[in-house]
Amino acid sequence: MYELKKWLKFLRWNSIIKLKSLSLMEKLPDFEKIFNKKLRENKKLLKENDPEFLKKFNEAFIPIFRIVNSLSFDEKILMDVYNDQIKDEDLPKKPLKIRNLLKKKATLALLNYFAYLQTRDELNFIEKTAPHALLLTVSPKYYRLPIYPVSKEIEILPYHGVPIYFQKNNKWQIDYLINLN
């Protein structure tokens, strides 16, 4: 957020555009109670294979699976772990164990993320913090102004991957680090 504020000041937009951190919401008295309730509800929906929840969950799972912390594992093993062409039943025991652990971490991260957004909405945090604000988003949503920090050909957002510059055609691409090795 600090870098964004520096850019706003540089562009002289800091008196027009105000940035608010969602972390302020965590200080509200009902935050923890509502968050934990939403987390339990999401876990239940996942366990019950709720079709609507599963659709949303599955759409978000792949990028989250790719960005959960895997630094403690051997890079060569991770190449198999993240290789979508290798089915679970074809993986050796150790890479399968790591894949399952990372899937579990990604699932928990996603359930927490959904609960956080649902808590934000239930608390009506944005409207109370910045009434009538124009909301920006990097993924198109109803009633939000989409901004794209990259060209439309790039499918991975900058904070999910590694930028690659192709000098030959003066183009940028973003890819997951594991795909570059």
Q: pLDDT tens digits, residue range 79-124?
A: 899 998 999 999 999 999 999 999 999 999 999 999 999 999 999 9
pLDDT of 180 > 70? The answer is no
Cα three-residue angle 175-59-135, rounded to 5 degrees:
85
Span 142-175, pLDDT tens digits? 777 776 666 666 666 655 666 666 778 877 766 7
pLDDT band at residue 66 using 50, 70 and 90 as cut-offs:
confident
DSSP 133: -
**Burial class for 161, CB neighbours closer than 10 Å (0-12, 13-18, 19+):** buried
Spatial CB neighbours of 66, under 8 Å, sequence gap ≥ 6: 82, 160, 176, 178
Span 13-40, pLDDT tens digits? 878 877 778 889 999 999 999 999 999 9
